[in-house]
Chains A and B, each alone.
Chain A
């Protein structure tokens, strides 16, 4: 007879065991809040670029930068690891000139001005605190600058192009992300642009706002 009671007890325990994790989470919640919704988020055409800038700000506060030399200039490098991937970031505190044909695999933070030669390729996002001048036939993942920004002719940008100042896009360029500016966007001739957002937009020599 006792065997039946033991069996019943074991069965009951197995049944109750299924509810144990739920009970534990209920008693000592670690995931208690509702799904987080940012109630104050407005739709901002520059949101992607501004979010990237915020991320950059948090990186700049870190002390984990290692100094190294690149194209004859002193730069700093660090690696940021997320759950699924790792990201290399290059930083320079002054101006930076990138020689023609260079390939930059990391994300790039330039705290001065940036000038790139022809046929450069930037596989990471670019942030420039000063002015930014991208050469012809460049390919970029996306870039934002505080100063004026110009993209050379026939360049291809896979993400956003954003600046607080004036943005100039060279003829024949293809921009797959949004182009946004705090002042004016000037398109120099025929370009392939998905979305424009600015106080004023100028196309070639004619202007409209």
Chain B
């Protein structure tokens, strides 16, 4: 038992340490390395036909702001080359009327109303919108986003590369600094995009499509079965579909787009839990296929696996704490000298944890946000909260996955029995 606990503890330590190294690699690349371009020089020169999909459910407060931005977008709108498809997804407020007003005013705005739909999810709404999309490139914006005027021109530029299936821009929270959470969330987002995504782009790894402020070739979406309407992380799902079939996603850091981020702890918790379940589902689906993919390089595979395991980390941390306490109290490790354990723990605390915070610091430095760096330590309560929420999300994802598998196996065996019965008769 003791040996098993020790081995698990060591494995957890190694996994977490490899994530720390990854943080440092990204931080170093972004702060001191050569920065890759995202076809910015083609922005405005390459203007393919574009359909923009905006799913909205009860978004009366923000719907007209998004639609106004898209109507005023700096893009060639002649001959159907630019269309905005606003999807009212079973709204019960004034959202449908707002969409209809814009559709009546602007010939390139289409209104789609989903009412009484059996599946209420963003991917289902996007699939409904895709049915009406006619143009070569399809971009997606959530209702609470505020795209700048040059956004579409910059987002479509990477499609000059025939291997690019999708693009992703940078999301910047716009909430006023009324709550501590919104300020902490802002610096967390900065690290995620300014460092993580851009470093992956620079290093030729796996920049991820984030579900909004981005888009795909319509042909790619048609070929790969569109979005899974039951998926809670359809963005990660489609990212892996792209990479595993030989395409790539291009991250464009200069396409900055404001979003209204969660300001309440509960709201944020629900969001993170949903992402955790969806992301872990992707891990179950794609981990093996990523390792065996013939399209990915060794480093891309490694990054792909680590990206899939991002939402497994909190569960590992929590398990590590629990096992560490158990081991300390009841079964001291076989390499017992407490000093070794203490050394590993301390060295991780100094080197490992700082990996994440160095990313945040570097992101704020690159954004020239001097004083916001002072907020870094306030991330600590948030990190602890995420560990709890994401661990719970991971357990739910595992249980749901097992249940689905059991149901599938049962359904398969029942269908086999039915077939054999019918053959016998």
Task: Point out residues on A near B: beta carbons under 8 Å.
Answer: 18-19, 21-26, 29-35, 37-43, 45, 195
Interface 1/0 per residue, B53-76 and A, CB below 8 Å: 000000000000000010000100
Interface contact A38-B148, CB-CB below 8 Å: yes
The answer to whether residues A42 and B74 also contact, given A26-B375, A32-B177 and a CB cut-off of 8 A, is yes
Quick one: given A25-B372, A40-B149, are A34 and B173 in contact (CB under 8 Å)?
yes
Q: Which residues in chain B, 190-214, are within 8 Å of chain A measured between CB atoms?
A: 190
Number of interface residues of B (CB under 8 A): 37
B37 CB → nearest A CB, Å: 14
A35 and B172 contact, Cβ closer than 8 Å, known pairs A26-B180, A29-B177, A43-B44: yes
Shortest CB distance B56–A (Å)? 20
Interface of A is mostly: loop
Beta-carbon contact of A24 and B74 below 8 Å: no
B374 at the interface (CB under 8 A from A): yes
Complex Cα spacing A114 to B418, Å: 92
A42 to B150, CA, bound (A): 5
Please state if A31 and B43 are interface contacts (CB–CB under 8 Å).
Answer: no
Contact in complex: B149, A34 (CB < 8 Å): no
A26 engages B378 (CB within 8 Å): yes
Cross-chain contact B150 with A25 (CB below 8 angstroms): no
Contact with A along B355-393 (1 / 0, CB 8 A): 000000000000101111011111010000000000000
Given that A18-B377, A32-B177, A34-B172 are known contacts, is A45 also in contact with B148, CB under 8 Å in the complex?
A: no
B253 CB → nearest A CB, Å: 12
| CB contact under 8 A between A31 and B377, given known A39-B69, A41-B149, A42-B74 | no
Q: Which residue of B lies closest to A33 (CB)?
A: B177
B148-A19 in contact (CB<8A)? no
* Known contacts A34-B186, A195-B41: A40-B374 contact under CB 8 Å: no
Give the interface centre of B176, B177, B376 by most chain A CB atoms within 10 Å: B177
Contacts A26-B183, A26-B378 given; indicate if A37 touches B149 (C-beta within 8 A): no
How close is A192's CB to chain B, nearest CB, in angstroms? 16
- Residues on the B chain within 8 Å of A19, using CB: 377-378, 380
Residues in B with CB closer than 8 Å to A30 are: 371
A37–B148 CA distance with the chains assembled, in angstroms = 8
List of 7 A-B pairs having minimum Cβ-Cβ separation, nearest first: A31-B371, A21-B374, A43-B44, A42-B74, A22-B378, A25-B374, A32-B177
Shortest Cβ distance from residue B68 to the other chain A in the assembled complex, whole angstroms: 11
Interface bits B379-409 vs A (CB < 8 Å: 1, else 0): 0100000000000000000000000000000
Instruction: Give B180 Cβ to nearest chain A Cβ, in Å.
Output: 6
CB distance from A160 to the nearest CB of B (A): 13
**Cα distance A40–B175 when bound, in Å?**
19
Known: A40-B148, A41-B150. A22 touches B172 (CB 8 A): no
By DSSP majority rule, is chain B's interface helix, strand, loop, or mixed? mixed
Q: How far is the CB of A45 from chain B (nearest CB, A)?
A: 7
With beta carbons under 8 angstroms apart, the residue of A22, A29, A38, A45 that contacts B377 is A22
Bound state CA distance, A21 and B375, in angstroms? 7
List B residues at the A interface (Cβ < 8 Å): 41, 43-45, 69, 74, 146-150, 153-154, 172-177, 180, 183, 186, 190, 256-258, 367, 369-372, 374-378, 380
Q: Is the CB of A22 within 8 A of B374?
A: yes
5 further A-B contacts with Cβ under 8 Å, apart from A30-B371, A41-B148, A42-B74, are: A29-B183, A37-B257, A39-B147, A42-B149, A43-B150
Cβ contact within 8 Å between B256 and A22: no
B153–A43 touching, CB < 8 Å: yes
The residue from A23, A35, A43 contacting B367, defined by CB atoms under 8 A apart:
A35
Task: Kindly state the separation between the CA atoms of A41 and B147 in the bound complex, as whole angstroms.
Answer: 11
Instruction: Kindly state the separation between the CA atoms of A41 and B148 in the bound complex, as whole angstroms.
Output: 7
Give A180 Cβ to nearest chain B Cβ, in Å. 12
The one of A31, A37, A41 that contacts B372, using a Cβ cutoff of 8 Å: A31
Q: Given A26-B180, A42-B74, A42-B150, decide whether A34 and B258 contact each other with a Cβ distance below 8 A.
A: yes
Q: How far does the alpha carbon of A40 sit from the alpha carbon of B146 in the complex, in Å?
A: 11
Flag if B148 contacts A39 (CB, 8 Å). Answer: yes
- Other-chain residue from A25, A33, A39, A45 in contact with B146 (beta carbon distance below 8 A): A39
- CB closest residue in chain B, given A178: B41
- Bound form: Cα–Cα A94–B317 in Å: 72
- A34 and B69 CA atoms in complex are apart in Å by 19
Nearest CB in chain A: distance from B195 CB, A = 14
* Given A34-B175, A35-B367, A43-B154, A25 contacting B43 (CB threshold 8 A): no
